[in-house]
Chain A
Amino acid sequence: MNQVLLLALIAWPVLAAAVAAAIASDRRRPDVLPVAAAGHLALTLVAISPPSPSSLGGWLALDPPGRLVLLLLSVLFAICAIYAVGYLRYRRELSNRVFVPCLLGFLGMTTLVVCSQHLGLMWVAVEASTLTTAPLIYFNRTPRSIEATWKYLLVGSVGIALALLGSFVLAYASLGEDSSLLFVDLLRRADHMNRSWLHVAFVLLLVGYGTKMGLAPMHTWKPDAYGEAPGVVGALLAGGLTNCAFLALVRVFHICQAAGEGAYASRLLVVFGLLSIAVAAVFMVGQRDFKRMLAYSSVEHMGILVLGMGLGGFGIFASLLHMLNNGLAKGVLFLSAANIHRAFGSKSVDDVRGAMRRVPLSGTLFLFGFFAITGSPPFGPFVSEFLIVSRAFAADRFLVGGGTLLLLLLVFVGMGRTILPMVQGLPSPEAQRTTYQDGLLTGLPVLLSMALVLLLGLHIPSPLEALLRDAAAYLEMIP
C-alpha cells in the first residue's frame, strides 16, 4: 500500500482526465471533476499521515514541506472542482472537451511536482504542469486570451528552460562518486559541492522557478494570464501552481543552506521578495481591471513568501503558513471576482458598482477576501504577515521590516480604492445586466474557502500545526 500510494495519487487524476476526454457530452463531462477531486483528497489525507509513503526507489516521496503543499493543492482543487461544475453550466456555448481533461491533467502534474524527490523529474513535472495550463487560459477563445496564452507560454517556457539549465549546473556542482540527483543525496553531499557552480545554479533556479511563481521582474505574464483566464483557472494558478514553483525553490534553497551558502541565497530571496512587493504595490494603485489587480496581488504575496523564507528563523514557519493562507484567500478572491464579472458582464472597475446588491454573497465574500488578503485581523494572512514582519524586526533588519510594512499599507490603500466602490452603493442604471445569480455551486465553494481562511486566523488545528512545525524544522535542519 505504502509503495503504490503516491503512484495512485498521481495516476488517479490522469486517469480521470482520460475518462473525461472519452465522455462525449459537454453537459456530463464536468461531473468527473468533483469525483476526481474527492478521490484525490481522500488519497492525500492518507498520504500525509504517517508512515510517510515512498515509491520508485525514493524518486517519489513526500517531504514535510511537500505534505503541506499537497494538502493545500488537494483542498483548493476540490473547492475549484465544485465551482467549475457550476461555472461550466453558464458557459454551455463553449466546448469543455479540452478544458476539463486539462484541469485534471493539471492536478496530476502538480501532484507529481510535489511528490518528486528527484531534481530532474521535478523539472519535467513543472514543465508539464505549464503545458497543461496553457489551454486553460485559452478557454474563452478571444484574441485577448490568445495573446495572454502566447505570453504565458513564451515567458513561462523561457523561465522554465533557465530552471533546467540551473538544475544541470546544480547537478554538475555535486558531480562525484555515487552522486545522484535525488534531493536526499544532494543534501547529503551538499558540503562537497563546488561553490562557484552552486552560486550560478541558485541564480538560474531562482530566476527560472521565480518566473513560474511570478516574482518581479519576471512576473509579466501574470496580469495577462490571470486577467484573461476564467476565474477558476486563476484560482488554481495563483493558489496551486505558483506554490508548486515555490516548493521547488524552497527545496533548492534548502540545498544551498546545507552547503553553507544560506547567507548568499537568503540575501537574493529577500531582494526578490521586496522587489516583488514593491512592483505589485505600484501597479495595484489605480488598476482599473479587477482581475489584473488580483494578479498583482499574487505577485505581492509570492514576494512575501520568498521574503519570509529569506529571513530565516521563524520566518520559515510564517512563510509556510502564509502559503496556505494566500492559497485559500486567492481561491475566495478569484472565484468571487469571477461571479461579479459574470453578473456585470465586465471586469472593469468603472462598470461595476454595488456588487453587494446585485450578487450579495459574492460581493460580500469579495470584500471579506480583500480584508483577508491585505492582512486584516481576524483572517489567516494577518497572522502570517505579522510573523514575517516581526521576524524582520527580531533579526534587526529594521529597513526590511519597515519597508515591508509601508508597502503593505500602500497595497491596502491601492486595493481598497478599487474594491470598496465596486461592492458598495447601487449598480448604475446603464450597467449591463446579465442573468447570473449566485447559486449553490458557484457560491458554496467560495464560502467554504473563506471559512478556511477565517479558521486559519482564529485557530490552527493541531494536526495542521504539527505539519507546519515539521516542515519548518525540516527546512532549518542541515543534514
Chain B
Amino acid sequence: MLKVSAVNLLLVGVLLLNLFMLGTSRIRALIQAAALQGVLLGVIPLLIHQHSERNAGLIAIATVLLKGTVIPRMLRRALREAQIKREIEPLIGFVPTMLLGALGTLLSIAFASELPLEPQHRELLIVPASFATVVTGFLLLTTRIKAITQAIGYLVLENGIFIFGMLLVDAMPFLVEIGVLLDLFVGIFVVSIIIHHINREFASLDTRRLASLKE
C-alpha cells in the first residue's frame, strides 16, 4: 500500500512538472524541469517491481544518467551556442497552453478509467500520467517555435511513453529497454547537431523560418 502511494506521489510530481513546463517562458527552466522529470521516471520502476532484479537497477541508473544529466547537458550546450534565453512569443500563449495541458490531464484521467486494467495496476496513476505527459509533449512540439523547445517536447513525449512502459516492467526485456534509451540518446544527439546547423544557416532557431518548402 505504501508503495502504491509513493509511486502515485511521484507521478503527481510528473504531472505538476508537465504544467510547469507548459507555463514557463525560460528555456533553461524548461530543460531543468525535463531533467527532473527524467530522474523521477528513473526512480519509479524500482518501486513498482514485484521482485527486484539486477537489471532493473541498471535500467534505473541508465535512465537517471541519460534523462537527468546527459541529455540536459547536450541541450544546454546547444542553447549556449545559439545564445538564446527565452522562448519569446509562442504560437499560443503560455496560459492558454497551460489550460490546454490541464484539460488534457483531465481527459487522460477520464479516458484511462474507461480502459480495462489488470487488478494490480488499478490503483496506480500510471495510465493517466502517461497519456497526460504525451499530450504535454505534443503541446510543446506544436505550439513552440524554437527548434530546441520542440526537441524538449519530443523528450517529454517520450517520457510519457516511458511511463506507460512501467506497466510492463516484468514483461519488457532488458535489451529492448536499453535499445529504446540508446535510440533516444542518438536521436537527441542528431537533433542537437541539426540545431547547430539551423542556427548557423538561419542565424536563429525560429522554426518559422523553415518555411521555404511548401506547395
| Chain A residues within CB distance 8 Å of chain B | 118, 120-121, 123-124, 127-128, 131, 134-135, 138, 141, 143-144, 146-151, 153-154, 157-158, 161, 164-165, 168-169, 171-172, 175, 179-181, 194, 196-197, 200, 223-224, 227-228, 283
Contacts of A120 in B (CB 8 A): 172-173, 176, 179-180
Q: In angstroms, how far is the closest chain A Cβ from the Cβ of B165?
A: 5
Chain A neighbourhood of B191, CB < 8 A: 153
If A144-B213, A146-B198, A172-B168 touch, does A134 touch B190 (CB 8 Å cutoff)?
Answer: yes
Name the interface residues of B156-215: CB closer than 8 Å to any CB of A. Answer: 157-158, 160-161, 164-165, 167-168, 171-173, 175-176, 179-180, 182-183, 186-187, 190-191, 194, 197-198, 201-202, 207, 210-213, 215
B residues in contact (CB < 8 Å) with A: 114-116, 118, 134, 138, 141, 147, 150, 154, 157-158, 160-161, 164-165, 167-168, 171-173, 175-176, 179-180, 182-183, 186-187, 190-191, 194, 197-198, 201-202, 207, 210-213, 215
Complex Cα distance A223/B215, Å?
9
A144 in contact with B115 given A121-B175, A138-B194 (CB within 8 Å): no
Nearest CB of chain A from residue B66's CB, rounded to whole Å: 15
Asked if residues B210 and A165 are in contact (CB atoms below 8 Å), the reply is: no
Instruction: Name A168's contact: one of B164, B182, B210 (CB within 8 Å).
Output: B164
CB pair A146 B171 closer than 8 Å: no
A123 to B114, CA, bound (A): 27
Across the two chains, which residue of chain B brings its CB closest to A147? B210
The A contact surface, by secondary structure, is helix
Measured between alpha carbons, how far is A118 from B211 in the docked complex, in Å?
39
Check A154 against B150 for contact (C-beta < 8 Å): yes
Check if A150 sits within 8 Å of B157, measured CB to CB.
no
| Shortest Cβ distance from residue B83 to the other chain A in the assembled complex, whole angstroms | 19
B167 touches A165 (CB 8 A): no
> How close is A299's CB to chain B, nearest CB, in angstroms?
13
Q: Complex: how many Å from CA A238 to CA B106?
A: 41
Chain B residues positioned under 8 Å from A164 (CB to CB) = 158, 161, 180
Of B171, B194, B198, the residue contacting A181 (CB under 8 A) is: B171
Complex interface: chain B residues within 8 A of A153 (CB):
187, 190-191, 194
**In the complex, residue of chain B having the shortest beta-carbon distance to the beta carbon of A125:** B179
Q: Which of B150, B171, B179, B187 contacts A171, CB < 8 Å? A: B171
Q: How far is the CA of A227 from the CA of B215 in the complex (A)?
A: 12
**Docked pose: A223 CA to B213 CA in angstroms:** 9
A128→B183 contact, CB < 8 A: yes
Contact check, A200 vs B115: say whether CB atoms are below 8 A apart. yes
Contact present for A181 and B172 (CB under 8 Å): yes
Whole-angstrom distance from the CB of B169 to the nearest CB of chain A? 11
A-B contact pairs, 8 of them (CB 8 A): A120-B180, A134-B194, A158-B141, A161-B158, A165-B134, A171-B171, A172-B168, A180-B171
Determine whether the beta carbon of A196 is less than 8 Å from that of B116.
yes
Chain B residue nearest to A296 in the complex (CB): B215
CB–CB A168/B167 < 8 A: yes
Q: Which of A149, A161, A168 contacts B194 (CB 8 A)?
A: A149
The smallest C-beta distance from B2 to any residue of chain A, in angstroms, reads 25
For A179, list chain B residues within 8 Å (CB): 171
* A165-B183 contact, Cβ under 8 Å, with A146-B197, A153-B190: no
* Closest Cβ neighbor of A156 among chain B residues: B187
Contact B201 A171, beta carbon cutoff 8 Å = no
Report yes or no: B171 in contact with A127, Cβ–Cβ below 8 A. Answer: no
A157, B175: Cβ atoms under 8 Å?
no
Whether A197 touches B116, Cβ cut-off 8 Å, given contacts A120-B179, A224-B213, is yes
Neighbour of B165 across the interface among A121, A150, A168, CB < 8 A: A168
Taking CB atoms, residues of chain A closer than 8 Å to B173 are: 118, 120, 181
List A contacts of B172 (CB < 8 A): 120, 168, 171, 181
C-alpha gap A138/B180 in the complex (Å): 24
Question: Min CB distance, A432 to chain B, in Å?
Answer: 21
Query: Ordered nearest first, which 10 A-B pairs have the shortest CB separation?
Result: A120-B176, A124-B179, A147-B210, A127-B183, A224-B213, A165-B161, A168-B164, A143-B201, A164-B161, A171-B168
Contacts of A194 in B (CB 8 A): 116
Residues of chain A lying within 8 A (CB to CB) of residue B138:
158
Complexed CA–CA distance, A124 and B182 (Å):
9
Whole-angstrom distance between the Cβ of B109 and the nearest chain A Cβ: 16
